[in-house]
Amino acid sequence: MTRHGTTEAFDVRENSRLALADGGLRRNLDNATATALLKRSAAVAESATFEASRDAAIATREFSILRLRELLDRFRESCARNGVTLDVFDDYEKANRRVLEILRSAGADFAVKSKSMLTEETGLNAFLESNGVEPIETDLGEFIVQLAGEAPSHITAPALHKSRFDVARLFAEKLGTPYSEDVAELTARARAHLREKFLAAKAGITGANFAIAGTGQIAVVENEGNARMCATLPRTHIAVIGAEKLIPALSDLPPFLDVLSKSATGQRMNSYTSILGTPREGHSRHFIVVTKKRFEIAADPLFGEILKCVRCGACQNVCPVFRRISGHGYGFTYGGPIGVMLAPLLTDYTRAEHIVDASTLCGFCRSICPMKIDIPRVIIEHRRRLCEEYRGPVSIERRVKRLFSFGFAVAMAVPFLKKFFTRAARIYFAATKAVFGREFAPFWDVFSRRHFVPVPRKTFFERLGRK
Amino acid sequence: MKDRALVEIFAKSFSSNGGDFFPCSGYDDSARAIAGYITAATGAGASASARIFISGSLPAALKDLIEAALKKSGAEFVLDGALGGATDVCVTAFDSMMAADGAVAVSAATAPPEESLLPPVSVLFADSPETFGNIAGFLGRAGGHERQITLIAGPSKTADIEKQLINGMHGPGKVAVVAIFK
């Protein structure tokens, strides 16, 4: 319980403390995010079209955000022409109920499912399970985290926090297969296990990367082939789509494909792009559009920009906070800079109070975002609103901190004070070392969450001057 | 001349996406390329017998020529009457090529989607396919009213475990495009 409301805040501080103590997690995150960044850089450097595609995609999104309702109406008409059912909900539970209703009418006691952050947002899996329908995640990363009973920790690489040793132990325990640390072998086991499910499934659930208003189709982009299987093998296909995914025409799609493939996975193009509309004979297709908070966000001149996001995950890969605590550290569906932007809007400032603080505002995310979203500006605005409109009276602890911060800022800004305090600090730390055998600062733990670092013997400029 | 340049660009892009490309001049040539690829991709004859399904979307004459070429190569194989769970290779049709993206389009009207999805090895064939500079050109022509179009740009792959790239996660781990250009 927080002092501002009755719902529990996302506990970023406790999650971060646990994550920072986990050396294995840090290694896995460093390896995964560094590899993703290298691949992205190479793909962008090789491309002659990336910048032009980026500008075209941004223009389309800006146009679409201002006309979401109109595009939704057109999408509804186009779907009706294609023989696809369309339901629109502004409520997660109603959307989940509709999915359940379709699954029940298809006679499905389980459904194969491809990666969808929106269904994480709506809590679809838990809802289906509680109603006796088993959702089976089929993207390898999602399959791994589902077996582990966890949520995805990254938008495009849900299991990036796990090593192959973690996966080997998990498969041996949950699938009953012999222990193997070989990645190809682990992949083959997941493939064999899931193939049986695909062939027996009566219904498949996917998300959608884009929804084309003019043609009533969706585009699903992937590399594994599981979304293709979910959408085409079972007789019933359900796609759960965020309203912000709407674009006007099929001709608007190519720049997005160009931008997404390079930013998300560092590829010229993803292995499969499925453009899905009219179902095959004997099959049925159902689109469920979730509008939750989307229209309100779109109407805000600053926050509307967030809806340009194509969910590539590039901002997560560069974020120094994400790279230490992973998506799980935020406790919210979306981790990293995109999560910091979305959490207060999709929940409220009470719950997202600490998430809004989980950014260094270094600006790497802004520089890498293919849709040029000014992420730090959005986060600063969230912090402003949080302080001015939602946080209660300033606590004594915070007042003391502010006083110290102000004093420190003055000391560092005035050259002779800076010199004086630096020398004084050196003498102080030398004295504590001589007396107590170590350098320490009293009350440090009370006033700071950072590790204590003593003042060095020489400043950077002094070292340079000496050279 | 323009088409030849596009085909060359496609060859480079598709190969860099992880696929194999065989430009051919006629059915005989195509059948030999397909048989050679199947033998190499499955090890048929050397260590195993391959179960092959040749789609009804392919011309009957080509189907006979592929069978003859496989027999001539000494490959051990069984021709499946229908696509099944045990099928190792499916030879099916595609519609168009997109040069710069290294992708081919398969419409549900041309061939059932599962044919290019279920077996571990996929061979996609077209006689004089329309070749576009990029996806934008293709989608501009397609008009968007086909019930389902899949753009295939290489094998199925994943890097979900330690970012190690593995081909053949759910779909084919090996993909070849064989096309006749006259």
Taking only the tens of pLDDT, chain B with its 182 residues reads 458 899 999 999 999 999 999 999 999 999 999 999 999 999 876 667 899 999 999 999 999 999 999 999 888 899 988 998 899 999 999 999 999 999 999 999 899 999 999 999 999 999 999 999 999 999 887 655 567 899 999 999 999 999 999 999 999 999 999 999 98
pLDDT at B46: 62
From chain A, the residues in CB contact with B134 under 8 A are 49, 254
The H helix count followed by the E strand count for chain A is: 22, 10
Q: Are strands B20-24 and B166-167 parallel, antiparallel or unpaired?
A: unpaired
A28, A250, A280: residue with CB nearest B144: A250
From chain A, the residues in CB contact with B164 under 8 A are 164, 183
Which string of b and e fits B48-62 if b means at least 16 CB within 10 Å? Answer: eebbbbbbebbeeeb
A253–B139 CB contact, under 8 Å:
yes
A49–B13 CB contact, under 8 Å:
no
Which amino acid appears at position A312 of this protein? C
Q: Burial, A432: exposed, middle or buried (Cβ in 10 Å; 0-12, 13-18, 19+)?
A: middle
Q: Which residues pair with A36 in a beta bridge?
A: none
A187–B161 CB contact, under 8 Å:
yes
For chain A, the straight-line distance linking the first and the last C-alpha, in angstroms and rounded, comes to 56
Give the chain A residue nearest B84 (alpha carbons).
A199
Q: Helices in A267-395 by DSSP H: which ranges?
A: 294-299, 314-318, 322-325, 336-346, 364-368, 375-385
Average model confidence (pLDDT) across chain B? 92
From chain A, the residues in CB contact with B149 under 8 A are 274-275
Closest CA of chain A from B66, distance in Å = 27
Cα dihedral A44, A49, A52, A53 sign? negative
Structure tokens at A449: 């969450």
Closest CA of chain B from A373, distance in Å = 25
Number of A to B CB contacts under 8 A, please give it. Answer: 163
Q: What is the pLDDT of residues A226-274, one digit of tens each?
A: 999 999 999 999 999 999 999 999 999 999 999 999 999 999 999 999 9
**Contact partners, residue A41, CB within 8 Å, separation at least 6:** A266
Q: Residue A402 and residue A404: Cα distance in Å, rounded? A: 5
B150–A214 CB contact, under 8 Å:
no
pLDDT at A6: 39
From chain B, the residues in CB contact with A40 under 8 A are none
Closest CA of chain B from A353, distance in Å = 32
Which of B18, B75, B71, B79 lies closest to B46, judged by CA? B75
The three-class DSSP label of residue B132 is strand
Orientation angle between helical segments A183-200 and A140-147, nearest 10 degrees = 90
Structure tokens at A235: 């007789």
Which amino acid appears at position A297 of this protein? I
Q: What is the pLDDT of residues A42-51, one digit of tens each?
A: 999 999 999 9
Q: What is the pLDDT of residues A42-85, one digit of tens each?
A: 999 999 999 999 999 999 999 999 999 999 999 999 999 999 99
The three-class DSSP label of residue A355 is helix
Query: Are the beta carbons of B148 and B114 closer than 8 angstroms?
Result: no
pLDDT at A3: 33
Low-confidence ranges of chain A (pLDDT < 70): 1-8, 392, 443-450, 466-467
Give the total residue count for chain B. Answer: 182
Q: Residue A102 and residue A79: Cα distance in Å, rounded? A: 17
pLDDT at A8: 67
